[in-house]
A and B are shown apart, each in its own frame.
Chain A
Amino acid sequence: MDHSPFSKAVSPGLSHRSGMSPLDVAFGLSRSRREFLRCAAGVTLGAALAGASPWMRAQTTRKKRKVIVITFGGGARDQETFAPEGQENIPHLLNELIPQSSFFTHVSNQGILGHYVATASLATGVYETLNNFSAVPPEHPTVFEYFRKDLKRPVSDAWVVAPSNGFNRIGESDCRSYGPGLGAGVILPKHLLSAASSGGTADYSHLLRDNYETPLYAPQLGGEEFQLQQLEMILKLSVDDFISHARTVSSPDELSVYIAKRLMQQEAPSLLWITMHDIDIAHSGAYSLYIEGIRRTDRLCAELWKTVQSEPEYAGNTTLFILPDFGRDADYDSGGNGFQHHRTGDAASRTTWMMALGAGVRPGLVFDDPMQSIDLVPTVGSLMGFSPSQSLGKPVKELL
């Protein structure tokens, strides 16, 4: 997370944002998202229209409620997504999902901008401070632990699918009153693929090099990872079929979505968390690959939403949240190198968006009020009926 704090300052007048405070810039980003959405997707500013959420009128259905969270992982900036010049990269979000969504334009992440620690913070509702590159559990209880303990749900009811091997400890914390045995099952499809292929002739080490900041590094796994034999037991998938399917997909995120769909069909978990990661190829510095990652993620989000509509266990009772873990550095921040990293802590790297759609969500609304990424867990808690007591976030009132 090193950067160059003493690098040369941007020339005055170079940036239209120069002279603005970080807060001004963050609000500017939000406003531009809102204006764009109003023009492009025909959505309405939500604050004036917000009443009680349909959730509150549907208490009897709470038992069947399901929540899926997709972290649009790897960080994506406005200019490649919701700004006018970026719209071509997100046709599915824009044309299919946004009109069905409540969209939050100003989500800030005040924590550490590393993907594992930031996703752990999203999952606990506390800005975690663990080492981003270590296979350690979050310090505070995760949303999965609150959900399972408070609602007395079995282990099969909460799952995490993450393409990055560094995320294998995200399912449960080491908090004494929660922790081991109360978390979510974690599936790391790429690692599963490697295990499934052991003994073959292929070299899978390149697939495990999933930390795009240090592209040759493949972390060692620790903790309760998904065992290979569970492929068959839980996903009802033979090793051969799994490998055969893997040979047809072009990226780790596609494999993750495939696994998520199998989970939905076989286990129908009430709480499903999917972390995308293809976009983080941006760390390699190849802009075209970053854009490809955004377009793929856009397509996969829509594909997963279609699956929700077609699966009887999910259709009509599922709320989907999509949010990036954070943004990426601005082009004009001299401490960074534009889209490549998220190291400066500038407004563009900290400010992002969230969309919620499906059961209990008013469609076609845009909300500008600032929220924090740690507000996700208490919001999910309010929707599903559990109490994330240690979370420092606040429920998003527009979704209650």
Chain B
Amino acid sequence: MLPHDLKSEDFAGYPPAARALIVAHLAALRQLPISFVPSLLREAIDYDFKFPEERSAIDREFANLSSLSPAQIKEWFEPFAQISLSSKLEHFDWINQPALFIEQQSAYLWTTHQQDAFRKAATEYGSRLQAAAPPEPGPVRRLGIAIIGQGVASYDEPLFRNLRQHGTYFDRVKPENGLELLLAGAAARAKAHPAPYAHWYIDGGQAVEHSPLLTCVSYKALEPVRTALLKNMQADIARPGMGPEELRTRLAQLTPKELGMNAAGDPVLDRFQVKLFTEGSGTQIFSTTFAQWATREVLRRAEAQTLLVRFAPRQRQRPMNELLSNSHSDPEPDFAGSLVDADMAAYYHWINQQRLPGSEHSSFLVWFEGHSQALVVAPYFAPGKESDAAVDLGTLLSFADA
């Protein structure tokens, strides 16, 4: 099957909103190369379960494709048309299994040394699309908050090293009620600018009391899902012929229901949470990785206006000699290691936030929980500077968000 043969009935297996969207733009899809279309379908097939910002982006992309003349389509997609695929891939059911197709296409592109050409084509297309169909500016400047180092009594190494050149470092903030003040600041934004999935609280451990206006994801609350997933993985691994790629494909097909999530839950949020475990690497094992990946995905997919992330200590990685002792006791938390993980994750939080529209106006605050060190990257905060101002975190946040 090639894109020019596409018919509306080919999408009968798609969820209703996804099907309607694709059928409305079928004429444009028929003109596109096969190396491109499954990537688009991979996003569109989950349209019914996407966040509003994702839906908006997909709508813009399809509208843009339909607005292009045949000559423009040729110009935009020539680099993709130059990518050669195997006939096995062309005969694959990429309409109903676009994600699996992408996985196999990726392996084929690496094998045939076309990965760099594909990467270049995709990057150029992304830039063109952003220029032709730019997103609407958000109603409020974006704010990121990272709280790191929970449970660490003292730490002598310098923190926020990657971020210092971008923001102002504070070493005398008042830590009292810091978590409550920052959560209150996030809640206030959610109240002032209400929108679905726009204001988030991610906790790498047990979520503390917070405003219901914040969309919350916590590692602790998802423990039953994680346990079910690990059990599922173990069972799959034991099956003959199962390899890493097959395992990944199988994981991608798991649904919230299969992992024991309540059928009456929020289908969009439940799917998102399942994907954090099935698409993330290491999220099933380390809470710090979970929090970092969840942060990345909330920014990439939901384009959160407010995102507060609190890291919790992850389990300690047991050295080989300890594993050989065959002790089955639960490993204790690795507080210092978790702080190092979270410090880097805070940097990635800021980078991912900077990828979103309006980054020049956005603000970011990172705080070493329970301690006096914090750093703010914001329009009115001088980069690479230090401040000895003795302010509480509520005040610091209000300045950052001003």
B-contacting residues of A (Cβ < 8 Å)? 1-3, 5-11, 14, 22, 85, 110-114, 127, 129, 131, 133-134, 193, 201-203, 206-207, 211, 213-219, 243, 246-252, 254-255, 281, 283-289, 291, 331-332, 334-335, 337-341, 344-345
Q: Are B351 and A8 in contact (CB under 8 A)?
A: no
From B126, B162, B343, contact of A7 by CB (8 A): B126
Q: A207 with B348: in contact, given A6-B122, A133-B245, A286-B341 (CB under 8 Å)?
A: no
Report the bound CA distance from A211 to B247 in whole Å.
13
Q: How far, in angstroms, from A214 to B356 measured CA to CA in the complex?
A: 30
**Least Cβ–Cβ distance between A346 and chain B, in angstroms:** 8
Q: A194 → chain B, closest Cβ, in Å?
A: 11
| Distance between A7 CB and nearest chain B CB, rounded to angstroms | 6
Q: B323-360 interface mask toward A, CB cutoff 8 Å, 1 = contact, 0 = none?
A: 11110000000101110110111011001001110011
The segment out of B3-11, B23-31, B108-116, B177-185 that lies at the interface is B108-116
Instruction: Tell which of B113, B125, B345 touches A6, judged by Cβ atoms closer than 8 Å.
Output: B125
Which B residues between 92 and 119 are near A, CB-CB below 8 angstroms? 102-103, 106-107, 110-113, 115-116, 118-119
5 smallest A-B Cβ distances: which pairs?
Answer: A285-B289, A5-B122, A284-B282, A288-B340, A285-B282
Tell me which of A8, A286, A338 has the highest count of chain B C-beta atoms within 10 A of its own C-beta.
A286
CB proximity of B45 to chain A, nearest CB, Å: 14
Given A1-B110, A3-B106, are A250 and B319 also a contact pair (CB < 8 Å)? yes
> How far apart are the CA atoms of A151 and B300 in the complex, in Å?
56
A215: chain B residues at CB < 8 Å are 281-282, 284-285
| Closest A residue by C-beta to B242 | A217
Q: How many A-B Cβ pairs are below 8 Å?
A: 168
How many angstroms from the CA of A215 to the CA of B230 in the assembled complex?
11
Can you report 6 A-B residue pairs in the complex whose CB atoms are below 8 A from each other?
A6-B122, A11-B360, A207-B324, A246-B320, A285-B286, A286-B337
Residue B237 interfacial (CB < 8 Å)? yes
Q: How many Å from the CB of B27 to the closest CB on chain A?
A: 21
Docked pose: A338 CA to B288 CA in angstroms: 15
Contact A7 B300 (CB under 8 A): yes
What's the dominant secondary structure at chain A's contact region? loop
B47 interface residue per 8 A CB criterion = no
Is B305 interfacial (CB 8 A cutoff)? no
Q: Which residue of chain A is the closest to B246 with respect to CB atoms?
A: A133
Q: Is B275 an interface residue (CB 8 A)?
A: no
Determine the residue in chain B with the shortest Cβ distance to A202: B326
Q: Which residues of B contact A1 (CB under 8 A)?
A: 106-107, 110
List of A residues within 8 angstroms of B89 by Cβ = none
Q: Shortest Cβ distance from A30 into chain B, in angstroms?
A: 19
**Whole-angstrom distance between the alpha carbons of A331 and B317 in the complex?**
24
Using A129-B110, A216-B230 as known contacts, list a sample of 16 further A-B pairs with CB atoms less than 8 Å apart, ordered by residue number in A: A2-B103, A6-B126, A8-B355, A8-B356, A9-B130, A112-B111, A133-B245, A215-B284, A216-B237, A247-B324, A249-B321, A285-B281, A285-B283, A331-B162, A337-B348, A345-B119
Q: Give chain A nearest CB distance to B385 CB in angstroms.
A: 19
Contacting residues, chain B, for A289 (C-beta < 8 A): 317, 337
Report the bound CA distance from A155 to B233 in whole Å: 40
- Interfacial chain A residues near B319, Cβ < 8 Å: 250-251
In contact, A5 and B127 (Cβ under 8 angstroms): no
Contact: B320 with A250, CB < 8 Å?
A: yes
Report whether over half of chain B's contact residues are helix, strand or loop; otherwise say mixed.
Answer: helix
Q: Is the CB of B351 within 8 A of A14?
A: yes
By the criterion CB–CB under 8 Å, are A217 and B326 in contact? Answer: no
Question: B296 interface residue, CB < 8 Å from A?
Answer: yes
Name which residue of chain B comes closest to A254, CB basis: B320
Q: In chain A, what residue has the closest Cβ to B348?
A: A338
B-chain residues with CB within 8 Å of residue A213 when the two chains form the complex: 244, 281
Residues of chain B contacted by A337 (CB below 8 angstroms)? 293, 296, 348
Q: Does B292 contact A (CB under 8 A)?
A: yes
Known contacts A129-B111, A285-B282; is-contact A9 B127 (Cβ 8 Å)? yes
Query: What residue in chain A is nearest B287 (Cβ atoms)?
Result: A286
Q: Does B161 contact A (CB under 8 A)?
A: yes
The answer to the question of B398 belonging to the interface, with a C-beta cut-off of 8 Å to chain A, is no
| Nearest B residue (CB) for A4 | B300
Q: Is residue B224 within 8 Å, beta carbon to beta carbon, of the partner chain?
A: no
Q: Is B141 an interface residue (CB 8 A)?
A: no
Q: Is the CB of A287 within 8 A of B300?
A: no
Q: Which of B103, B111, B233, B345 is the most central at the interface, judged by chain A CB atoms within 10 Å of its CB? A: B111
A214: which of B244, B326, B334 is its contact (CB, 8 Å)? Answer: B244
For A7, what are the chain B residues with a Cβ–Cβ distance below 8 Å?
126, 300
Closest residue of chain B to A209 (Cβ to Cβ) is B237
In the bound complex, residues from chain A placing their C-beta under 8 Å from that of B130 are: 8-9
Query: Does A5 contact B237, Cβ atoms closer than 8 Å?
Result: no
Chain B nearest Cβ from A225, distance in angstroms? 19
Q: Known contacts A8-B355, A214-B248, A286-B314; is A85 also within 8 Å of B161 by CB?
A: yes
Pick the contact of A345: B103, B116, B161, B237 (CB < 8 A): B116
* CB-defined contacts of B126 to chain A, threshold 8 Å: 5-9
In the bound assembly, the distance between CA atoms of A162 and B355 in angstroms comes to 39
Judge if B243 is at the interface, Cβ distance under 8 Å.
yes
B359 touches A14 (CB 8 A): yes
**B87 interface hit (Cβ, 8 Å):** no
Query: By the criterion CB–CB under 8 Å, are A11 and B354 in contact?
Result: yes
Question: Quick check: B320 and A217 within 8 Å, CB to CB?
Answer: no
A288 close to B282 (CB less than 8 A):
no
CB of A145 to closest CB in B, whole Å: 23
Interface-centre pick from A14, A193, A255 (highest chain B CB count, 10 A):
A14
> When the two chains form their complex, are residues A211 and B282 in contact, meaning their CB atoms are under 8 A apart?
no
